[in-house]
Amino acid sequence: MKTEDDNADDTVLFHVEGRTAVVTLNRPRALNALTHPMVLRIDEALGAWEGDPAVHQVLIRGAGERGLCAGGDIRAIHDDAKAGTTASAEFWRDEYRLNARIARYPKPYVALMDGIVMGGGVGVSAHGGVSAHGGVRVVTERSRVAMPETGIGFVPDVGGTWLLGRAPGRLGTHLALTGAAVGAADALLCGLADHFVPAGRLPELTAALAGAPAHEVLPRYAATPPPGELAARRPWIDHCYAAGTVEEIVERLLADGDPAAKEAAETILAKSPTALKVTLAALRRATALGSLEEVLVQEFRVSCNALASPDLVEGIRAQVVDKDRDPRWSPPALADVTDADVEGHFAPLAGGDLSFG
């Protein structure tokens, strides 16, 4: 999972401002995409700050103005899947452990979810609000939050099925299957964020956090976001995505009559049929599990088993490597994906399940 700048020490930066420890993801040209070394360094820093009485809270942000983090380094995953090595599994093992650490972190964890926040970027930010210790997730008018994995033949991970499975109604299923990116208001509605702050005020907010706890500072900067889209679409979203299978969901969407529902159906039909069916199963199983850690164990199985799926390599090829945007899924249709195909993604791993220290 190595990339050109992994040998540099500045792909993730750490410093302390007053009482706040700051993590800056620092690969702006790559939309701050996470590499394995970055994950390990963040985890190490969080472990050190956990026992440091001078650090009262942690802030995570992205360098540049384009986004907090666009996700993991999927080119490296593509190369790993083609080569049949285990580097991706090792990366996911440490990344998912970091997600769990963030969710249970004993100090307030503040995430500035400005700009693009997708995949692994959701994993290092949205779990901070789950904490009972005052975590805060901030979105801006530039925020675009998504779990777009079905478009590359993959399944929402980094605790994404846990988060989306707990969104109101069937909103999480809609976002998981379509991979749609949402703005600030809809991220708040879906429970992926806590406060809206105008992007221009983030420097002031960051400076204020150096001297006071997040819960005292945020009320001075929080505002009402621009209107979202999902609240008005709840009736057809909740009805259509309650269907038992992906095929039935698509049928309901096409029959609904709302142009946005038809657009959602067309979006879904362009995704990997296998990934769609596994995603729906993973979401519904996640809602029945009792903890984020249990869901991460399930996601680790699904992710590792997906490495053997032709759709992961093909999806990344089409979207990122060749950029022809014309993936050839195998099998090509929802009807061709069997229950056994889906169940195989949840099978125990020969190398052992994910565990937590």
H helix or E strand, kind and range, residue 57: strand 57-62
Cα angle at 139 between 172 and 44, to 5 degrees?
90
**Which residue in 248, 285, 239 sits closest to 268, CA to CA?**
248
Q: Given this structure, which CATH class describes domain 4-344?
A: alpha beta
Amino acid occupying residue 241: Y
Alpha-carbon distance of 56 to 210, in angstroms, equals: 9
Task: Write the CB contacts of 14 (distance below 8 Å, at least 6 apart in sequence).
Answer: 21, 22, 23, 24, 41, 45
Annotated catalytic residue within 62, 67, 71, 72: 72
Q: What is the pLDDT of residue 159?
A: 98
> Is 72 noted as a catalytic residue in this protein?
yes
Q: How far is CA 247 from the centre of its chain?
A: 25
> Can you spell out the DSSP letters for 285-332?
HHHHSSSHHHHHHHHHHHHHHHTT-HHHHHHHIIIIIS-------SS-
Q: What DSSP designation does 347 have?
A: S
> Is 129 noted as a catalytic residue in this protein?
no
3-state secondary structure of 172: helix
Annotated catalytic residue within 73, 95, 157, 299: 157
**Which residue in 292, 299, 351 sits closest to 131, CA to CA?**
292
Q: What is the pLDDT of residue 134?
A: 76
**Which residue in 215, 220, 164 sits closest to 194, CA to CA?**
215
Number of C-beta neighbours around residue 350 at 10 A: 6
Task: Write the CB contacts of 4 (distance below 8 Å, at least 6 apart in sequence).
Answer: none
Annotated catalytic residue within 79, 149, 186, 314: 149
Q: What's the whole-model pTM score?
A: 0.95
Q: What DSSP designation does 11 have?
A: S
> Is 248 noted as a catalytic residue in this protein?
no
The strands making up 116-118's β-sheet, listed across from edge to edge, are 67-69, 116-118, 144-146
> Is 311 noted as a catalytic residue in this protein?
no
Alpha-carbon distance of 241 to 286, in angstroms, equals: 16
Amino acid occupying residue 41: R
Query: Would the CA dihedral through 271, 273, 279, 280 be positive or negative?
Result: positive
Domain layout of the chain by residue ranges: 4-344
- What average pLDDT values come out for the chain (357 residues) when binned by 10 residues? 50 97 97 97 98 97 96 91 89 97 95 98 90 82 98 98 97 98 98 97 97 94 97 98 98 97 98 98 96 98 95 96 96 97 96 91
Contact of 110 with 129, CB cutoff 8 Å: no
